[in-house]
Amino acid sequence: MKPSATVSPYKIASAKFAGAYLVTMRPYLMFVSGITGIAGMAFAPGLIPAVAIPIAFAAFLSYGFGQALTDCFQIDTDSVSAPYRPLTRGVITQRQVLVVSAIGLTCCITVFAIRNPINLGLGIAAGIGLATYTYFKRRWWGGPWYNAWIVSVLFTMGYIAGGGIPLQWPRPSFYLALGGVFFGYANFVLSGYFKDIEADKKAAYNTLPVVFGRKIAAVGSDLFAAGMWICLAAYFTSAFLSEPSAAPSVLTILFLLSAAGATLAAQILLHRVRRDEESHPAIGLVVHSYILSLAAVACTQYPSWGLILFLFYLLFVLTLRARPSRSQI
């Protein structure tokens, strides 16, 4: 299904286009990439605000530009599951979104690359991954892990940008946290498919829940969630055993307990989903869990960031509530 040809698209330099593009970016999910970049750079020692703030801002925006880019290749299924979106309504065009997204992603990559040129190659690889994601989403075995490696690259870019030049090899705990990012984001992708099953069937997107049904897909989600917590448990054990005198802050514990509770509730709810319209509470809890768990990781590395991370999470909650469609996450 294509946007109606009778709709006149907004001019790219207009305020209406900017507003429509912002909806396409999914502001409530930019917190996902934001916390990923923040957690990654938290492994770099001696960070100062002049370095940390631009990296966090670029990471935050990268999800929005990347989501808009991938939407250009999924108008068929979005026309059924999310007809409110500007691309499906035809008020902005695929070409416009491709241009703006490419420019935006280039700017984000540049921020990372200024600190270390290695990030230029990683950023280009991630950009190619975003542009080719739809191919893998159409195959039941491909979507979650393919999207997860792209976000894992962002976590790595955050660390590299935070470390600058010369770059030191990260501590072993970094790789454990990276595993948490991979499995946690893969779970978000898979759970997100639950809201679009009927639309994906019509558009020939053979996702895991489309091919094998909700029950098996929910078990797959459980495995991703378990993988995330195994990695994070190992990370926190490693982090505190390496410094016996260190103790987790109150906010770190709060983030962790809240993340664990959100994960448990999300997995229970996901097994109870019978219709697409019932899935958004579970998906939302998966997002809460991901952001809270990585906030705990960042807070472990930099306890002084605790209040900022708490305000970051609070802003996410408020932005999520303001999304244009309650059934879409």
Cα–Cα distance for residue pair 109/105, rounded to 1 Å: 6
Which residues are CB-contacts of 257 (< 8 A; sequence separation ≥ 6)? none
Backbone angles phi, psi at 3, to 5 degrees: -60, 150
- Quick one: pLDDT at residue 86? 92
Residue 56 vs residues 118, 124, 184, 281: alpha-carbon distances, Å: 18, 19, 20, 28
More reliable by pLDDT, 80 or 253: 253
Alpha-carbon distance of 298 to 310, in angstroms, equals 11
Q: Are 21 and 92 in contact (CB under 8 A)?
A: yes
Decide if pLDDT at 6 tops 90. no
- Give CA–CA dist 280/295, Å, rounded: 22
| Domain range summary for the chain, segments of one domain joined by + | 15-321
**Residue 321 confidence (pLDDT) above 90:** yes
Residue 1's pLDDT band (cuts 50, 70, 90): very low
Asked if residue 309 lies in contact with residue 254, where contact means CB atoms within 8 angstroms, the answer is no
43-to-99, 131, 256 alpha-carbon distances in Å: 34, 29, 18
Between CA 221 and CA 234 the distance in angstroms is 20
pLDDT at residue 327, rounded to an integer: 72
Whether 236 shows a pLDDT value over 60: the answer reads yes
Query: pLDDT (tens digit, 9 = 90+) per residue, 126-176?
Result: 999 998 999 999 999 999 999 999 999 999 999 999 998 888 888 889 999
Percentage above 90 pLDDT, the chain: 83
Q: Are 100 and 25 in contact (CB under 8 A)?
A: no
pLDDT score of 243:
64
Q: Topology of 15-321 in CATH?
A: Farnesyl Diphosphate Synthase (1.10.600)
Note the pLDDT tens digit of each residue in 272-286: 999 999 999 999 999
What tens digit of pLDDT does each residue of 306-317 get? Answer: 999 999 999 999
pLDDT of residue 36: 98
For residue range 104-118, list pLDDT tens digits in order.
999 999 999 999 999
Predicted confidence at residue 227, as pLDDT, reads 98
* pLDDT of res. 164: 85
Mean per-residue pLDDT, 2-25:
84
> Averaged over 251-278, what is the pLDDT?
96
Distances (CA, A) of 69 to 17, 94, 245: 15, 9, 46
